[in-house]
Structure 1
């Protein structure tokens, strides 16, 4: 069966969950519809890019009508019309597409009505921003509400996101949680370096890297052998580098910048502890269920994080890691210290690994997704 993966941009190396669907869903029988195509096509898939196309002269004439009509009927102007709509429909027919999976709810807004017209079942996958920050826009909430009856099913990486949508009146009878998952055959424990900590993620407000840094410095005042590696870049990186100097921990904290996925895997294999102080940012943006935490658990790391979004659905407090409230810097420092000074961190790491194998094996989750798609299509 041929599936269409609709996404915002292709190809982005960091979107491992989307790339896995493009490469492997239904044995790799997929095509890609994207907002932007940056030219990289490592999976050699047929690609249809919606943006950057020249507006046909006849479309320019009718554009005001279609923009207004789509806002009135669908509560959004994201939908293709005119020649763009005809070309997209022809692309889907030419490649014998039987089902559309829109990665992120905002992408589903653009393809759900067309899928309905072509009698193609459309599903969407909520992953974080699309079911948190996006809900701050009343127009998107209304567009989601009108879109739901047009969808064959809805997936989310955490129950938190489905609950967040429901609080805004956005529900679907065939909604279910399927985490992004991790390749537990590739992400696995290695030889752990004592008192080694790792943090992976963009240096942005939602990840609160400055809180992680300061909490680590406070927690390890009398643990000079403790080390922390940061992987990632972003607007808060320079501030964190300066703070490491101010706190006197520059010799124990390394800022490695953005790293290839293979390098992250190797770092996780050797790290004993994984630190991530996720918070809801000022724009309402949240995590879904961070892939990095699932990878850390698969690698046998003890996780120290926050009671944020879907993280408590993955980390069992006291069994696979430690959780504190968002923005609780003192509590986070205490949790880091408790993790580093516990009697047997290896045992907790083994429990984390077992939970990842049981709940986050992406091969099993991909099969679960395929079964759910087929079952909904049969209904």
Structure 2
């Protein structure tokens, strides 16, 4: 990058947005160029390849993060880490999802810094916990901090910082129930129909890999049929992804309506929504797929999912506005996104009861009513 031109910065910003939203594998050089307002071939004046964009984004972000945290002087606490997250907010989306695409030694350089951030988050926990509990709270703090890279809500940095500080403090003081080894959760009866079985299996594959890396042959093989047979139900992989995401969005909307209809107070409703969202995510990967890959669906489906996501978030924000009147609606929206991201990130590995305890602590509610939010 030479000559002081603003174009390299525009290209990096465009790449950060696209990689973070859709994943490195699903984005081409022409996509980045179009988003930055330049022609595809002109990208190569500043970057050797799409990979060069990725590595530059990651190495620049962790360098800035390391520098920002070091500037605070004292050992990093969750407030210092939140300041660091704000410094690299635009790159957090791709830092979250695209690190596996880095090559040696780039991945080593990035991992070294992020491991130091993880260690700092662990040291910030004021409660002496067993290792298993500390793992949960540390991951929840890191997820909370990185959540600001999953959205573009127009909220002042100081207001975002207040939300991050409060949510992290709540996580670190959460009272976790005892861990249950291999809890027996109701995962539902496997579908008998081929179409539903394909969707269920596809959700698991999309949860484990980027959609661009999952083939129709792999989806078909997972339920023991030939790839050509899948076209009796689906026109292609994008249609499968559309159906997985739409199904998850509709289930979430149904659960939201059901909880609201059965709740007598905003606190009760918010606690109920938190429990149901955790249950949906821990018992099926489809909700995580929706949150991670919804923008990779077909254009019409992506628009429908966007509308449904806004409606769902509005319900949560309205409830938070009632339970935390000192917060702006923008801050409530940031906290909702942080809550959703923690559920996404931890639901694979943390049992339902413990994850529910973390989430209700973040929201300042539990089954018995309100708690004082951390300020």
TM-score by length of 1: 0.26
Select the structure of larger CA radius of gyration. 1
**Relative to total residues, which structure has the larger strand share, 1 or 2?**
1
Structure having greater relative contact order (Cα 8 Å, sep ≥ 6): 2
Q: Compute the TM-score of the two structures, normalised by the length of structure 2.
A: 0.27
